[in-house]
Structure 1
Amino acid sequence: MGINVPSVKLNDGNEMPQVGFGLWKVDNVTCADQVYEAIKVGYRLFDGACDYGNEVESGQGVARAIKDGLVKREDLFIVSKLWNSFHDPEQVEPICKKQLADWGVDYFDLYLIHFPVSLKYVSPEERYPPGWFVDGDSKVEHGKASLEQTWKAMEELKKKGLAKSIGVSNYTGALLLDLLTYATIKPATLQIEHHPYFVQKNLLKLAAQHDIKVTGYSSFGPLSFVECDMKLAEDTQKLFDHPVIKGIAEKHGKTPAQVLLRWATQRGVSVIPKSNTPEKLAENLNHMSFDLKDEEVEEISGLDRGLKFNVPTNYGIPVYVFA
């Protein structure tokens, strides 16, 4: 029997599960099986992207679960993202349709602009996913599309039913405010890096003011980036080992992972953790079985260091989008 997950209501009337499975860094070899197992446990939201390079395998896991009668398509909430190389307005619909074909579905429940930066177009036939470098090696070349042009093309996806909801990812407060000046369809969600070392409380307040739901990624902080060989992450104390997190976990008889996820969801933020084992999958999904005390929430929030890991320059990529 799957674990029931509460939903959040988006500003366009659609509902989104508050806990999902993040597909970033999920290995292609195991991806289909992991998606299938996650559906068996009770996950219904799957957060993918062109740049993750595993949308075909993710779709295979979904197709198998549907074929075996575990779920129907309408039971799932599938999220994908528009990569930087496809910001030109005329490229938005074609790449969205390619991603839908890779997943084997007719629509995305939510489609996001992945990063607020345009890169020069790279044909999917030439290289896919294209990554940050126009030559696939070391050369960065920015595109000419404005974020307004790209958003208008995103609005067309919603109007045509290719995406039921649209939103943005990695936007700052200034960019979000700017978007609201020209959007005829308000973004339904904002996806951002969010953990106790990078709380972004004012950005959360801004999103709430405009009824934009927030999804936090990398809920476990530096742990998400150690496997990327990022020195900043390697040199930062792991949240699982932090005495504040460990102490609160022990008080509640929960794991540090469950405490970190509950800190987010109890404050209204959605989460998309990933795990490689059925036990951890269930543990992450079932983290809402307890509540943190207000003072515990504040103590965890007090760990904020303004420490953002998911910055291109931290990977050695000379793109200064967060300069």
Structure 2
Amino acid sequence: MIERLRALLPMRKGAAAIVPERSVAGRTLLLLITIMSFLSAVTLGGVVLVQKSAIAWSADTGREVTIQLRPVEGEVMESNLRTAVSLAQATPGVSGARALTVEESQQLLEPWLGSGLDLTAIEIPRLVVVQLADPAEADIEGLTRNLEAVKGASLDTHAAWRQQLNTMAGTIVFSGLLVLVLIGAATVLAIVFATRGTMATNREIVDVLHYIGASNKFIAGEFQGRFLSIGLQGGLLGAVAALLFFALIGTAAGNMLSSEAGAQAGILFGRFALGLSGMIGIAAVVPVIAALTAITSRVTVGRFLSETS
């Protein structure tokens, strides 16, 4: 026994491992870290997708305003539409304006009224879509004043909707980051229990190491190296699994976007394309998980040895 343990004392390059490479505890911890890494990467990827979609939504809605024309007794709707379009096109910062047809207006009402309704007997409000060349330079106040000459006309800048959209996206991002923190805390606790369990299992070996002169620093370094290896393997497996997950979801979403549910998912997550920033974020999970595993194991071993010395 003494001769076998003396082999642990030379330089780490050729040293045998205190924690067996294929121990049950090691395999279980590897699986656990892989799962935690996968969940962290998927959560981080989801946060990136929502944030990218929110930025795109805000940019799109910020470049468009809508003129609503309500039916007014004694007013000719088509004439008011032409006037509103002319006023919008003459406004500085506007790149174009177009009045929606009756059929397009009816299609906008279908989500609330259902399809197949005959709305020809009802005079419904009409819309003019105004495209802005530069939202910062567009004279929205001037357009609002000019539209006062058109009875039943009002301008919607979509500011309230953009604020609600940004609030929703911010809430989702914050929730995702909170989930990441909780996953990290659960990972730390799992590593603490696994490390203490391994220390207790190898208590006899640790005692003999102390007897032949091994320092607490050396023993903690052995455990740190072993758990760093487990963290790297688990983090890499989890990150690769997450990338495959997003690739599969993106393929499935591409086939489902024609359906109503798929369209709603596409609005929130786009086409599940992570982009370079998302891939870098998922790749960053690997060193973070590995470092978290190594540091936690070293601190746990140090405290365990302090308590038992």
Greater strand share, 1 or 2? 1
Greater relative contact order, per chain length (Cα 8 Å cut-off, separation 6+): 2
| Higher fraction of helix | 2
TM-score range, shorter chain: under 0.3
TM-score (norm 2): 0.20
Q: Which has the larger radius of gyration?
A: 2
Report the TM-score when normalising by structure 1: 0.19
